[in-house]
Amino acid sequence: MVHKRLILDSMIPEKLLYDPEEGYGFVFPDGTVRNEEKRDSLPGEYSVPPVPSFNVDVPDGNYKVCIKASMTGDKRDLAIRTGPGHLNRRIVQAEREECFAVHVCDGKLKIAFIGNQPFSGSLEITSAPEVPILFLAGDSTVTDQSSSQLPFCGWGQMLPFYLPEDVAVSNHAMSGRSSKSFIEEGRLERIWNRIRENDFLFIQFGHNDEKDNEGGTRPLSTYQDYLRIYIEGARKRGAFPVLISPMHRRLFDEQGNIINTHGDYLAAMEELSLKEKVPYIDLAGKSKTLYEKLGEEGTKKLFMWADPGDYAKYPEGIQDNTHFQESGALEIAKLVAEGMKEHKLEPFSAITGY
């Protein structure tokens, strides 16, 4: 069932402002400080400078979104984002139709069209309850970072770019969480309240499990015990769990090789995946290969490295060897997509673009 079919012109969003009675329209950024916990960022706020976001009132659920865009000029590049900064598609052709799935949980489907050229086109939103949802459980490297934290970016925000049009993403990852604290704070319960038969649960923990605090776990005992709760809970509900090892930090030895800061946690997750017969994406191994190929200097462009003045939030610059900016999150998401296709999980065998 087609929920909404609209004609858009990005050049004059002022003529199509959001109207509660109509239930759709453009919303302009107003400088509101956004919150990761609330997932209240608008997709247009993930642009510098920010752009208006197109909001459509819809019941919670899954939707197929199809966008036809026509652009003029030589430097065509239209990024389509939804929700809290999810990158769904990029259009570089003069004329193109792109479709993708979106999961809505706050009554509004939010879309931003971010590009360097004016465009015109149409937007069609269709209810798609049959579309499977890919739930993400993880930490700050996975989460939907708020627009107020730019250029921080979790790979969960970039993953939709690589997915086929019949898979929606619901990212429940949260900064600072371990496999233990994610459960204790009731975050896994929120997933259980939404997950359905034939949905997916992708699980990446480790960075915060390693810490010596209340959220910490032991690799060959409590870490595996908590991960098993995710696996068994998903299977009980007819969903499919997938384990993803934590990517490496940007730490090189003198020979240019990545140093493993995760200790026994990597082996513990792989061991559990074999025992439980769960698909395992070796993101640690894949990230090691990527980092060593780029080298110590080349990897700076992936991580949160910025010079003074590059970003207003970091006037003195920043050097962070754990977290990613958008280019890095996009590369990590590509590695995850690669692993999904390697396991030949349906519908992920249709993944392209890497």
- Number of Cβ within a 10 Å radius of residue 253: 9
List of residues 6+ apart from 344 with CB closer than 8 A: none
Q: How far is it, in rounded angstroms, from Cα 351 to Cα 354? A: 8
The answer to whether the CB of 74 falls within 8 A of the CB of 34 is no
Instruction: Tokens for 224, please give them.
Output: 């595996």
Token pair for 321: 């060897």
Residue 122 one-letter amino acid = S
Give me the active site residues, please.
Answer: 140, 316, 323
Joined tokens for residue 93: 């052709």
Q: Are 143 and 154 in contact (CB under 8 A)?
A: yes
**What is the spatial distance between Cα 302 and Cα 293, in angstroms, rounded to a whole number?**
13
Rounded to whole angstroms, the Cα distance separating 20 from 58 reads 12
Helices and strands of the chain, counted as H and E runs = 7, 17
